[in-house]
Amino acid sequence: MSTDGKTALPWRKQLRLSSEEDMARVHHLRHECDAVLVGVGTVLADDPKLTVKEKYISHPRQPLRVVLDGDCRTPENALVCNDAANTLIITKPGCRFSFHNPSIESISCAVDEHGFLDVSMVLDILSKKEVSRLLVEGGGTVIWQFLSHHHVDEMYVYIAPMITGGKQTPTCADGVGVSSIDNVISLELIDCKPLGNGMLMHYKPNLIK
C-alpha cells in the first residue's frame, strides 16, 4: 500500500506499489503456497495472472488460482483463466460458469450475513482440495473478510514511499469495517525492515475474539 494506506489511484486504476525486491518476495511466497486467492474485483481491475514468474523462481510450482466471484463476473479471457495454472472460481449458489478450458473449475458456496461468500466455507472447500497454505492477495474487501472472520495467521504489508489521497481510494482492508471500538482487529508486530525503496511490515493478528 502507499504510505497513506491506499492500494490504487483515486479512480481505482492499478498502481505499481511494489519495488523489484518486493515483487521477488511475492513470487517466492506464491511458489511456497498451495493456492493464491483474490476477489473478482481484482480480476476486473488488474487482470492478474497469479502465477509464479521464472524471472524470480527457476522451474516454479504454480499454485492453484482461486477467485471469489459470487455473481459470475470473471471474463473467460481473463489472464487468471489461461492454462498456465489451474483455477478455481467460487460463486454463490445458482451461479454457473460454462468455460471450455479444462483447467478451470467452478463451485458454489453459501454467503455470510453481509451477502459475501462465506470465507469459512471457502476454506473448507480449499481444505478438501488439499490446500494447507493459502496466500490471500486482495483486494481490500476480500482481505477484510478474512481478517474479520479471524482467518489470517500472518499479514505482510509492503509500504511504498508515495501518497495518493482520495476519500474513495481503495485501501488494503475495505469491506464493512468494524461496528464498534470493541471489534477493532489488533495486530502484533513481528518484524519490520527496509525492502527496496519501501518498508515491509510483518504482523500476526491477535485472534482473541
- For the residues 191-199, what does the mean pLDDT come to? 97
Report yes or no on 2 lying in a domain. no
CATH number at residue 88: 3.40.430.10
> What domain range includes position 185?
20-205
The count of domains in the chain is 1
Asked if residue 98 has pLDDT above 70, the reply is yes
Mean pLDDT, residues 1-16 taken together? 93
Q: Given a cut of 60, is residue 65 above it in pLDDT?
A: yes
Q: How many CA atoms lie within 13 A of 38 on its CB side?
A: 24
Residue 103: closest CA among 87, 91, 90: 87
Residue 5 lies in a domain: no
CA angle 104, 106, 107 (to 5 degrees): 150
Q: What percent of the chain has pLDDT over 70?
A: 99
Measured in degrees and rounded to the nearest 5, phi and psi for residue 45 equal -85, -40
Note whether 25 and 193 are within 8 A (CB).
Answer: no
Alpha helices in the chain (DSSP H): 20-32, 40-46, 119-128, 140-148
Report whether pLDDT(209) > 50: no
Each residue of 134-188: pLDDT tens digit?
Answer: 999 999 999 999 999 999 999 999 999 999 999 999 999 998 899 999 989 999 9
4 part of a folded domain: no
Tell me, yes or no, if the pTM score tops 0.75.
Answer: yes
